[in-house]
Structure 1
Amino acid sequence: MKGWVKGLGAAVLVAGVGLWASADWLKLHAPGLLAGPIAPNRPVVWAAGPEAAPAAARPANIILIVADDLGWNDISLTGEGVAGTATPNIDRVGLEGVQFDNGYAGNATCAPSRAALLSGRYATRFGYEFTPTDTRLPDWFPTGLFRPDAMFARNIAHADGDWDQKPVFNEAEAAKAAPPGDKGMPSSEITIAEQLQGRGYHTIHLGKWHLGEARGMRPEDQGFDESLGFIIGGQLFLPENDPNVVNSRQDFDPIDKFLWANLPFSVQYNGGPRFAPDRYMTDYLTEQALAGIRANRNRPFFMYLAYNAPHTPLQALKADYDALSEIKDHRLRVYAAMVRALDRGVGRVLDELKRQGLDENTLVVFTSDNGGAHYVGLPDLNKPYRGWKATFYEGGTKVPFMMRWPGRIAPATRVAAPVSHFDIYATASAVAGAALPDDRPVDGVDLLPHVLGTATGRPHETLFWRSGDYRVVRHGDWKLQTLLDPAEPLLFDLAADPTERRNLAAARPDKLAELQGLLAAHDARQKKPGWASLVRAPIAIDRPLGTLPVKGEDYVYWSN
């Protein structure tokens, strides 16, 4: 009997140790494990427009193409291309239309940037200040038992490393935070899609959403007649073990670990059951965009084509990887191959417009939601600018931004004045003949008069950015960055110092005071964040994640 009891005790002990050892693994993988089944691929039948085009002139179609974490230096029009890899099709948009030399994202991370883009307003006007964690669990799951958003933030805050700057996790806010899936763009916001829908446009969303998972916040609730993509902020590009994919894991990055553990390879059509695409995600979204163009060739349409490339997890189509054999570094080669697929997709969209006779009646906009990310572990993504995604240095907010409209916009047009993503809203509204909402401030302006040379002055004299205690203003050519850590204000003259290397705060107290006043006045007009920041993460300005710290290096703390 004693032996039996001892054996049972040993078994319980072993089981307990096993559960304890696997607890972190279970927490890391829980959102993915509990997300539900994914059906095999099925065809998508896009709602068809009229069989014949109307005899009368119709408004121009609008296609908004947004890349994910594409850096300034990642394309050959604005930089060198990844390891010298050309992007001829993306370049076509700017070369055959207009390139904005100072095009800015509305924020330096995915979700708030997209909220500004689709609403035409500073996202801080409606409390969308931080990116929600993509970790929605089934309704039956007790969130009091396990909060994946808190776990995600804690995972970043407890990241290993020898750097003196450590992330800070907000335990108190995590304990009372709303479920992550309920954080999103309020349904009271009037999106571009709703604006154009009201003018008779058929509206299509493809790819990444990242603006809320709850009903009322999803694309089909925010003005899109049809939506095919993923509600959360990312997906795999192919299953990890697919023979046609080449993977690059970033073991130094806690975000990358979370993505590999949880992201599926799936899409939804109009909020229906999830199913698997039939090819590499970038190519799948392109193929569906072409089908959407064909289905709507005889009526005005708005297409929001939101690729998730080249955001992590880094996965390249093997054919693209093999085509870049001159690149010897594996991670760099995978990343370059992802941009290659993105460029191919843009080219196929432009070619399909030509094939369908829609080329001269379609405004195509191409941009990225923010700058290249430090957590990719590659240098020079935003060269020559300093900073990354999750910083308000130029490298985090200055993005490729171009428009193409043959017959209306002259080839090789350049606009040097600062413009913002939220200008796309007002521009699209003007193209469609839609009046801007008069019950709220709209921060964007119609860019076409500035592109066509019929407007005088700059579209904006002042632009603002905010994430927690990190607040920034650009006024004319002067830029002020303010933070709690580091506490010293950073004042730059971008006309003389576009890469933000000479802090003039001490030398120009007059200009510092002027911009501080503008920033304070702007903050007073913004709304309190809709949810609290759970983590303050340090970002080194001049080196990517996964590299050794440098004594005395510049950094910022990013709140999210």
Structure 2
Amino acid sequence: MSGRHPIRSGTTQVVWGVPYGLTNWEKTLAEMFSDAGYATAMFGKWHLGDIPGRFPTDQGFDEFYGILNTTDESEYSTQIGFDQSILPVPHIQQSVRDGEINEVKPFDLETRRLIDTELTEKAIDFMGRQVEVGKPFFNFIPYTQPHLPSLPHPEFDGVTGHGPYADVHVEIDHQAGRILDAIDDLGIRDNTIVIWTSDNGPEVVEPWYGTSGYWSGHYFTAMEGSLRVPFLMRWPGQIEAGSKSNEIIHTVDLLPTLATAAGLDVPQDRIIDGVDQLPHLTGQTEASAREGFPAYNGDDMFAYKWRNWKVHLIEQRHALHPPQTLNVPQIYNLITDPKEEFDLVPQGFAASWVFPPVFGEIVKFQQSLVMEPPVPFGAPEPWTPQN
């Protein structure tokens, strides 16, 4: 949302009982587009703040429908000993810009199965309304699937024969297809950028266990299976259909890239970690505009990915296992060893030449955190930098 790494914006963790999420001081993609006259809407999972000042409609969105926190909440009311006099039943919520957050209906295991269909229908309705009045739009649809509990819509339950997690992926594909069909039906295909991606790798908790396939790991680690996700982008006439790349593009690159595409300016009063990737995406350059990035888990840098190398500073191969600080960092060649199984350090320091450039990048990033101190976790609202 901000073009900034979570360590800068204080969004490194979610802890109940303290303010979390993006402070209202942060400038979001939605605010950038809204300031330029776009209609903005979000339908789905927010998880970037659940207090006044940090709702989606406080952060640039004209409309919001979905859940403010996690899909785990849908399980609460069915769990052993749940006491709604202590913790209210979670709800699906909605709001409009400058309006109150309103509870629509309980978010439970039944509505958990149905919500992504609702999100799709609301997103299609939003686009239709904007096309009717001739207004450009930014439509953000963070589906709640496949996060646990990965329960598919009843129409998709059992369709694959490989369990609910596989069924959910078929449902996601179907819902995304409905969005694309709607864009075609509205006659705006050639003038609409569509991005389909994820913020992390597969679910790790049984029985909703997913696979990262060619790579290793699940979310909440610095393993490649956690960090590497699909990224598909369609812009007819600008991005060649069927083109592919194995270059690194990071989520933070979305803000400056979309700003360039729409002819907008990125914020100049704060560090923006993202870089403009439009030249690479449109085929003007073969290489990405970035060579790597730090991989944080909470407030600690677990690894740094650089080109096709990964240097682990803290080892954690499984999200539910304790992390281990390494006396000597590990080096992995992600081309010959995509599952990060063979540390090259014990092999006679076989790739020790990678350490100097990687640690140069690490030090440069850490110096930037000194130059512009991060938003502290738990910062109250309102919050503004002191320097």
TM-score range, shorter chain: 0.7 to 0.9
Task: Tell me the TM-score normalized by structure 1.
Answer: 0.58
Partner of 2:284: 454
Which whole-Å CA distance do the structure 2 matches of 1:305 and 1:192 have between them? 13
Q: Which runs of 5+ in 1 are unaligned?
A: 1-117, 134-148, 150-178, 242-248, 252-260, 533-560
Give the count of matched residue pairs. Answer: 346
The answer to whether structure 1 residue 476 and structure 2 residue 322 are counterparts is no
Is the contact between residue 75 and residue 149 of structure 2 (CA under 8 Å) also seen in structure 1? no
CA distance in 1, matches of 2:174, 2:73: 19
Aligned to 2:320: none
Alignment of 1:485 onto 2:316: no
The counterpart of 2:6, out of the listed 111, 123, 145, is: 123
1: CA distance between counterparts of 2:117 and 2:308?
A: 40
What is the CA–CA distance in structure 1 between the aligned matches of 2:88 and 2:200, rounded to whole Å? 23
Query: Whole-Å Cα distance in 2 between the matches of residues 238 and 405 of structure 1?
Result: 39
The amino acid that maps onto 2:312 is: Q
CA distance in 1, matches of 2:6, 2:300: 16
- Confirm or deny that 1:216 pairs with 2:216: no
Root mean square deviation of aligned Cα:
2.6
Contact 2:145 2:172 survives alignment (8 Å): yes
Q: Partner residue of 1:524? A: 367
Q: Which amino acid aligns with 1:269?
A: S
Find the aligned partners of 1:272 and 1:464 in 2 and give their Cα distance.
35
Measured at CA, do residues 263 and 311 of structure 1 come closer, stay the same or move farther in structure 2, by a change above 3 Å? farther
Give deviations 1:158-177, integer Å, cap 9, x for gaps: xxxxxxxxxxxxxxxxxxxx
- The structural deviation recorded for 1:344 is 1.2
Q: Which residue of 1 aligns with 2:67?
A: 230
* Alignment check: 8 A CA contact 2:30 2:60 kept: yes
Q: TM-score, normalised by structure 2?
A: 0.82
Percent identity between the aligned chains?
28
How far does residue 528 in structure 1 lie from its aligned partner after superposition? 5.3
Corresponding residue SS for 1:415:
coil
Does 2:224 match 1:394? yes
**Pair 262,520 (structure 1): closer, same or farther in 2 beyond 3 Å:** farther
Larger Rg: 1
Contact 1:310–1:338 (8 Å) recurs in 2: yes
The secondary structure found in structure 1 opposite 2:264 is: coil
What is the deviation of 1:237?
7.1
Could you tell me which residue of structure 2 aligns to residue 55 of structure 1? none
For structure 2, the residue ranges without an aligned partner over 5 or more in a row are 81-86, 315-322, 379-387
Quote how far apart the aligned CAs of 1:440 are.
1.9
Are 1:289 and 2:128 counterparts?
Answer: no
Change in Cα spacing, 1:377 to 1:217, as seen in structure 2 (3 Å) is same
Partner of 1:321: 157
Q: CA deviation at 1:523?
A: 2.3
Q: How does 1:225-374 map to 2 (within 5 A)?
A: 225-234=62-71, 264-270=90-96, 271-276=100-105, 280-297=114-131, 298-324=134-160, 327=161, 332-374=162-204
Q: 461-470 or 204-213: which moved more?
A: 461-470
- Distance in 1, matches of 2:344 and 2:180, equals 45
1:102-122 CA-to-partner distances (Å, cap 9, x unmatched) read: xxxxxxxxxxxxxxxx10111
Secondary structure of 1:119's partner? coil
Contact 2:248-2:290 within 8 A present in 1 as well: yes
**CA deviation after TM superposition for structure 1 residue 436, in Å:** 1.5
Number of the residue aligned with 1:424:
254
CA distance in 1: counterparts of 2:173 and 2:75, whole angstroms: 18
Alpha carbons 1:464, 1:473 under 8 Å: kept: yes
Shift of 1:401: 0.8
**1:169-224, CA deviations, whole angstroms, 9 ceiling, x for partnerless residues?**
xxxxxxxxxx33x1111211111111111211111111111111111111111111
Contact residue 312 and residue 376 of structure 1 kept, 8 A: no
Distance in 2 between the 1:362 and 1:520 partners? Answer: 39
Q: Which amino acid aligns with 2:282?
A: L
Map of 2:295 onto structure 1: 465
Q: Give a deviation string over 1:410-442, Cα, whole Å, max 9, x none.
A: 210112211111111112111221011222222
Contact 1:226 1:269 in 2 (8 A): yes
The answer to whether the 8 Å contact 2:92/2:103 transfers is yes
SS of residue paired to 2:138: strand
* Superposition deviation, residue 476 in structure 1: 2.1
Matched, 1:503 2:343: yes
* Residues in 2 aligned to 1:511 and 1:238: alpha-carbon distance in whole angstroms: 46
Aligned residue identity for 1:208: K
Q: Letter of the aligned partner of 1:183 in structure 2?
A: Y
**Structure 1 position 262, deviation (Å):** 7.5
Q: 1:272-303 deviations in whole A, cap 9, x for unaligned?
A: 32012888111011111111111111210001
Q: Report deviation, 1:380.
A: 5.8
Equivalent-residue separation in structure 2 for 1:453 and 1:362 (angstroms): 18
CA shift at 1:304, angstroms? 0.6
Higher relative CO (Cα under 8 Å, sequence separation at least 6) belongs to 1
Matches within 5 A, 1:181-220: 182-220=19-57
Distance 1:378 1:239, change over 3 A: closer
Checking the alignment, whether the CA contact within 8 Å between 1:236 and 1:281 is kept in structure 2 is no
Aligned to 2:266: 436
SS at match of 2:141: strand
CA change 1:393–1:238 in 2 (3 A) is: closer
Deviation at 1:269, TM superposition (A): 2.5
User: C-alpha distance in 2, partners of 1:418/1:204?
Assistant: 28
Query: The residue matched to 1:402 in structure 2 has which SS?
Result: strand
Deviation of residue 455 (structure 1)?
Answer: 2.9
What secondary structure is seen at the aligned counterpart in 2 of 1:268?
strand
Please give the per-residue CA displacement for 1:13-72, whole angstroms capped at 9, x wherever unaligned. Answer: xxxxxxxxxxxxxxxxxxxxxxxxxxxxxxxxxxxxxxxxxxxxxxxxxxxxxxxxxxxx
The alpha-carbon distance between structure 1 residues 456 and 221, as it changes in their structure 2 partners (threshold 3 A), is same
